[in-house]
Amino acid sequence: MTAAPTLDDRVREWLRRRTFHHSRFADVERLVGLKRRQGLRISLCLPALNEERTIGKEILLLKSELMLRRPLLDEIVVIDSGSSDRTREVAAEWGARVFLASEILPSAGARRGKGENLWKALYQCEGDLIAFIDADIRNVRPQFVYGLLGPLLEDPGVQYVKAFYDRPLELTRGKRTPGGGRVTELVVRPMFSLWVPDLTALIQPLSGEYAGRRSLLERLPFPVGYGVEVAHLMDIHHRAGLEAMAQVDLDQRIHRNQPIESLGRMSFGILQVLFDRLHRYGYLEPRRPLATVMRQFLPDAEGYEPAEFPLEEEERPPMISVADYRRRWGRGGEDS
């Protein structure tokens, strides 16, 4: 009798079959043909807040290469959190459809956070496939989009695709050194290793670049803050297993790195969501209320000053459960 595959065997096999380099999908004309044969529409969404310096370049390049030159994308949509700079004006000037998050689905109210923008993008974007990339990428290239869409167009079994890449840290002298993805390596990967080892196969689970099928995304709850990526992975894993996911190497991503204090608060929000899912899916019992105050020590003139930051990862329900969404997109009911 053949022995059942071990966890390591399954993860290694998934890595072999579901991990790609973007160059595999560089024939964009072939992807356009796959899109047309499947009768799909594709949206690119950029969630944004005060990104006037980078968002215009991203839209110009991606629209030129992937809409005008080769019609892989049907639209580029910017969902803005309420920028105080010219982010919305710049995005509109370069041809994106631009929306203020607080004005979308007014019946659902408004929250602040990246996850809120992504959730509301489902209502506003028209695509059957939706790709998300951050608006602060300094070295954006077409592969940031076609690399994510390739597995979805090639394989109907793939429902969700994550990016991974080298993320150099920028030093004050202008030199760069590896070391990005600190929250992943110090928080998320150890937690996944302890509780959900399948998800350790994701090289960068917190990457801001990913794509999915509307039919999946509309059935996922969306934490409004930084926990949205972890929630997606754990919810998809629970619903469909690792087989529903793939990941693509985009080589390198250069963006604005955050200070350690901000990363600490990000980690706190992510851990709230992660522990919620551990309880929800039966990894941890009994359930206890999670703390909602992050305590840190910030440097001041006399040393360090204690500071408290109230942080609570509020969550939006699956979009399919929202009546206005079902009416807009002709969905018959709230399927599980």
According to DSSP, the residues that pair with 306 across neighbouring strands are 297
- The token duo for 312 is 């609570």
Q: Are strands 303-310 and 293-300 parallel, antiparallel or unpaired?
A: antiparallel
Q: Would you say residue 313 has pLDDT above 80?
A: yes
CA angle 18, 20, 23 (to 5 degrees): 155
Residue carrying the six token digits 């796959």: 34
What CATH code is carried by the domain that includes residue 72?
A: 3.90.550.10
Most confident stretch, 198-202, 284-288, 321-325? 321-325
What is the chain's mean pLDDT, rounded? 89
- 232-254 residues labelled b (16+ CB within 10 A) or e (exposed): bbbbbbeeeebebbbbbbbeebb
Q: What is the mean pLDDT of residues 242-247?
A: 96
- 194-216 confidence digits (pLDDT tens): 888 899 889 899 999 999 999 99
Q: Would you say residue 71 has pLDDT above 60?
A: yes
Structural domain span for residue 164: 8-328
Higher pLDDT, 134 or 285: 134
Instruction: Find the helix or strand (DSSP H, E) in which 11 lies.
Output: helix 7-18
pLDDT category of residue 306 using cuts at 50, 70 and 90: low
Q: Is residue 126 part of a domain?
A: yes
Q: Is residue 336 part of a domain?
A: no
Q: Is residue 230 part of a domain?
A: yes
The phi and psi torsions of 78 (rounded to 5 degrees) equal -110, 125
18: left (phi over 0), alpha (psi -120 to 50) or beta: alpha
Q: Would you say residue 15 has pLDDT above 80?
A: yes
According to DSSP, the residues that pair with 97 across neighbouring strands are 77
Instruction: Say whether 279 sits in a helix, a strand or coil.
Output: helix
Burial of 103: CB neighbours in 10 Å, binned 0-12, 13-18, 19+:
exposed
Q: Is residue 2 part of a domain?
A: no
Instruction: Find the helix or strand (DSSP H, E) in which 237 lies.
Output: helix 228-240
Cis peptide, bond prior to residue 318, ω within 30 of zero: no
Cα–Cα distance, 245 to 243 (Å, whole number) = 5
Q: Is residue 3 part of a domain?
A: no
Which residue in 105, 111, 167 sits closest to 134, CA to CA? 167
Q: Would you say residue 257 has pLDDT above 70?
A: no
- Lowest mean per-residue pLDDT among 43-57, 76-90, 222-236, 283-297: 283-297
**pLDDT at 176 (0 to 100):** 40
Q: Would you say residue 99 has pLDDT above 50?
A: yes
Q: Is residue 334 part of a domain?
A: no
- Lowest mean per-residue pLDDT among 12-21, 148-157, 178-187, 322-331: 178-187
> Residue 209 in contact with residue 132, Cβ under 8 Å?
yes
How many domains does the chain contain in total? 1
Q: Is residue 1 part of a domain?
A: no
Q: Would you say residue 51 has pLDDT above 90?
A: yes
Q: What is the mean pLDDT of residues 252-264?
A: 77
**pLDDT at 179 (0 to 100):** 47
Residue 200 DSSP code:
G
Q: Would you say residue 299 has pLDDT above 80?
A: no
Q: Would you say residue 303 has pLDDT above 70?
A: no
Cα–Cα distance, 9 to 22 (Å, whole number) = 25
Q: Is residue 239 part of a domain?
A: yes
Q: What is the pTM of this model?
A: 0.86
Q: Would you say residue 178 has pLDDT above 50?
A: no
